[in-house]
Amino acid sequence: MCGIFAVVNDKTNNAAQTVLTGLKKLEYRGYDSWGIAIKPGRSTEAVDRLQVEKHIGKIGEAKTNLPKGKIAIGHTRWATHGGVTDENAHPHLDCHQQIAVIHNGIVENYLEFKEELIKKTHKFSSETDTEVIAHLIEEKMRPSVIPSEERSDESRNLEKAVFETFNSLVGSNAIGVIDFESETIIACRNGSPLVVGVDEKNHQFFLGSDVPAFLKHTNRVHFLDDGEAVVITKQGVKLFNVKSGQEKKLILQQLDWQLEDAEKGGFPHFLLKEIMEQKETIAKIASINEKEILEIANLIRQGFRTVLIGCGTASYCALAGKYFFANTGFESQTYGAYEFLPFSQFANNKTLIIAISQSGETADTLIAVRAAKKQGAKIVAVVNSRGSTLERLADIVLSVGAGPEIAVVSTKAFTAQLVTLYLLAEATSNKYEPGKKKIKELSKALHNWLNKQLTNRLIDLAKELIDQEHIYLIGKHLNYPATLEFALKLKESSYIHAEPFAAGELKHGVITLIQKGTPCFVLASNDEVKGEILSSAAELKARGGRIIGIAPFNSYEFNEVIQTPDLGELTIFANIIVGQLLGYYLGVGRGADPDKPRNLAKSVTVK
């Protein structure tokens, strides 16, 4: 969840500012506080310790007061252990301020370490689990611990101390360590993402939790796998097995991401930009993954039990996928990945797990996948981010290619994943080519429909709803998961309580919530259950509800309607996009940050 960034050999000799700029690109990962540690350059006043600056709050337009230098690390925090205070912000120092540590994850056994270190006179200044890492490394580098014949090799001692410390930590963690004396940065990964970037032209080296942090400098990268570590010096980057300490060959890949993919491009917020990009990203899916989709479809036809899992938005995508498969005559099951473990015992070598995750680093999804894989299941990863843990665990990868998604609220990645599942379902019933044609028609319809007239209508509606405390939504069949996703966008973006229900639940207690003027959204399509959903809308209207139809038609039961393109079962895409846009405009109107909603982080890498 937290964001890690570091630079070595900064060409501007202003590494702190370079790190600050990179951290701003990672605010979506966590942002209740931030901090930077730097070794000042020779041109600055001589100091014998690392210089640290850290603050609570968002980075915004902040500027650092740190001295110039060529090597620095930084961090954006999403609090787990310890409150949101300057003291608990990262980086954390050892007693002599020679070592600074940044960390993403949770050290589950930190208390036992802390108690022992306090007995050895180490002084702690925070409530975090992270600070023990700095002191553990310091303890392992004490002259009394290091054999005399090894004390001359400072960098080797640091490497050994960091690796030993990291191997002793329990939990899912990624750390970055900067050492004053050797001017070295060491990073280790076990569960939480890390990526190295190499700018060969300027001989600069970068470390980040995600590529957008350094994309303006280079797209030549290596994604660290679990159990890998990198040692970054002025000379270059070396890759190691953190368990054995053995060096490995560093293989770089060149991403096709462009800098403009991670910039706002004239939009006021990333969220609005990414909503509008769906006109292009949805069409793109029709031209990729054909070989993999046909391979998976063949497995399903062979009788593989199909299970779709995900968390949050991805779980709603999975549920919609279940309806797509049902519409083509194939049964599947869905689980929130966080509730899958009791059912993982039923997985076997005839089970196909389709795991959906924007980042590919969602902790609960990875836990579920590992449990199923242990039982012999075949794993399909439906992911957007490149180089993720889920990709490495998967037998088959469906990369949805939506490009960097910077806003915490997922939009274009969600619809790209949903298109992927639709095409897979169509391929399973030997209708892949007609399915691709329908997706292209969907994209064309969105181009015509996503216009100024629509956005003005939604802005007016947002103004009318801006002071509401409760909004209710109903849908049926495919529009039920659409309703779940629509409501989530309202909650995430605007902080309004938005509660979705299957229309069939109304008579079973839910209708008691409806009073005169209560906003009730009804998501509908021209499908076999149109009459039933309109009947439910009439029940809400009879109780005084303000009925807002989201549908390709108008109806007597609606007080008003936001009309969407009539695209058969694909109508749900436009219905969902209305929720994305309405959530955005409500959030802006209520003073929320659409790109970085409170308490949320993009990649949920802890349990």
- According to DSSP, residue 14 is labeled B
Same domain, 388 and 422: yes
462, 589 Cβ separation under 8 angstroms: yes
Same domain, 31 and 173: yes
Sheet holding 173-179, edge to edge: 92-93, 99-105, 173-179, 184-190, 228-233, 236-241, 247-248
520, 545 Cβ separation under 8 angstroms: yes
- Given 408, 430, 450, the domain boundary residue is 450
Q: Domain with 283 in it: what CATH number?
A: 3.40.50.10490
Nearest to 15 by CA among 89, 93, 70: 70
Per residue in 3-51, pLDDT tens? 899 999 999 999 999 998 888 877 766 568 889 999 998 765 567 899 9
Structural domain boundaries enclosing 478: 452-607
Residues counted in the chain: 607
Highest mean pLDDT among 99-113, 251-265, 344-358, 589-603: 344-358
Residues annotated as part of the active site: 2, 602
Same domain, 493 and 381: no
Structure tokens that stand for 456 in this block? 């003005």
Structure tokens that stand for 228 in this block? 């890998």
pLDDT of residue 521: 97
Mean pLDDT of 576-596: 93
Cα separations in angstroms, 80 against 33, 71, 103, 196: 12, 28, 11, 25
Q: How far apart are CA 156 and CA 164, in angstroms?
A: 12
Structure tokens that stand for 52 in this block? 């640290």
Same domain, 83 and 213: yes
Q: What pLDDT band is residue 151 in, cutting at 50, 70 and 90?
A: very low
Q: Domain with 201 in it: what CATH number?
A: 3.60.20.10
Same domain, 559 and 575: yes
Work out the percent of the chain whose per-residue pLDDT is above 90.
69
Q: How far apart are CA 243 and CA 25, in angstroms?
A: 31
- Domain count for the chain, please give it: 3
Same domain, 432 and 559: no
Per residue in 252-296, pLDDT tens? 988 776 655 556 667 888 899 999 999 999 999 999 999 999 999
Place of tokens 């959906």: 356
Same domain, 252 and 302: no
Same domain, 435 and 540: no
Neighbours of 348 (CB within 10 A): 11
Neighbours of 154 (CB within 10 A): 14
Phi and psi based region of residue 135 (left: phi greater than 0; alpha: psi -120 to 50; beta: remaining): alpha
> What 3-state class would DSSP assign to 454?
helix
- Given 450, 470, 505, the domain boundary residue is 450
Mean pLDDT of 384-410: 88
Same domain, 569 and 605: yes
Cα separations in angstroms, 163 against 87, 190, 229, 240, 243: 26, 12, 8, 10, 7
Same domain, 418 and 481: no
Same domain, 438 and 494: no
- Given 237, 262, 287, the domain boundary residue is 262
Same domain, 108 and 93: yes
Q: Is the pTM above the cut of 0.85?
A: no
> What 3-state class would DSSP assign to 522?
strand
| Residue 184 pLDDT exceeds 90 | yes
Per residue in 166-180, pLDDT tens? 999 998 889 999 999
Say what the alpha-carbon torsion angle 63, 67, 72, 76 is, to the nearest 10 degrees.
-30
Work out the percent of the chain whose per-residue pLDDT is above 70.
93
Which residues, other chains included, contact 150 with Cβ-Cβ below 8 Å and sequence gap of 6+? Answer: 156, 157
Nearest to 320 by CA among 474, 478, 476: 478
Q: How far apart are CA 175 and CA 511, in angstroms?
A: 50
